[in-house]
Chain A
Amino acid sequence: MKLFQSYHFSGQKEGEQMILVVRRHWFNIVQNMASVFVMIFFLIGSYAFLPTLFPALNTPPFNGLFVFLENLFAMITWVFFFLLWIDYYFDVWIITNKRVVNVEQKGLFNREVSELELERIQDITTDVKGIIPTFLNYGDVFVQTAGKTERFDFADVPDPYGIKDIIMNLQKAKHLEENNELGEVIREEIHRDDA
């Protein structure tokens, strides 16, 4: 398992270990980046073909103007690419030995952080729909909590079955730990009564 020694998130509790950091599958970012690919294609295409179509672009002062506009378009493409990247990279699910943290990033100014204690998890379901998700092994993981109608959605994550297994194993370990602690308390009480 990948070690997360260089990883840290705000609100991380003492002794809390990161088990898994999950982001959407790479195919999702490729889909979102389609517009950036079109912009890059347009940038290269226009640089290669426009001076042929408009010979004036080869002579001053329009050649300078053309290079300036190409550069300006490259700047816009670059910022747009990073905005999409931030939306992808900061949309993250962090699974620790204590809880599941969901960070949802929408654009630059909308960030939502929610968490779920492992003990509260009641049901985990996976959903892999379609040819490409089946082939590339990505899909959704739904984590249902006890009590309220609260639900965590891991959308378009790689290896959803593996993630489900990891959460279930962590939950079992947590329950076992709690039962052992409870057993210890009961044993102490019995010994105290005997004495």
Chain B
Amino acid sequence: MAVLLILALYAVVIVTFSIISFFIIYHLTHYTVDSEFKIVMLVFFVVVSSGLFLSNLALFFSLNWNEIVVKLLSSNL
């Protein structure tokens, strides 16, 4: 149950991040006055965001959430 709750919360975070990133990219492509700097900003944003996003997904799914929940509930850090 707790693991499902964590998964749902994480899904909310990931969807929010994806929506905000989409709108940031939309603004950069549509409203940038300087076309050369637009490419620089887009590449910078997309590369860093993708890196953070993919590494976060990998980290999330590599964790044993059942074990973490059990240990968190049974002992203190």
Contact = CB atoms under 8 A, between A and B. Distances in A.
A9 B59 contact: no
Given A61-B63, A61-B64, A61-B67, A78 B77 contact: no
Nearest to A77: B52
A21 B33 contact: yes
Interface string B37-69: 000010001001100110110011011100110
B24 A86 contact: yes
A37 interface: no
A68 B59 contact: yes
Contacts of B13: 72
A94 B31 CA distance: 13
Interface residues of B, number: 31
B68 A65 contact: yes
The bracket for how many chain A residues form the interface is: 20 to 34
A159 B33 CA distance: 21
A57 interface: yes
A71 B31 contact: no
Given A74-B52, A78-B48, A79-B20, A62 B77 contact: yes
A71 B33 contact: no
A62 B71 contact: yes
Contacts of A94: 33
8 contacts: A6-B35, A57-B77, A68-B60, A68-B63, A72-B56, A75-B56, A79-B17, A108-B27
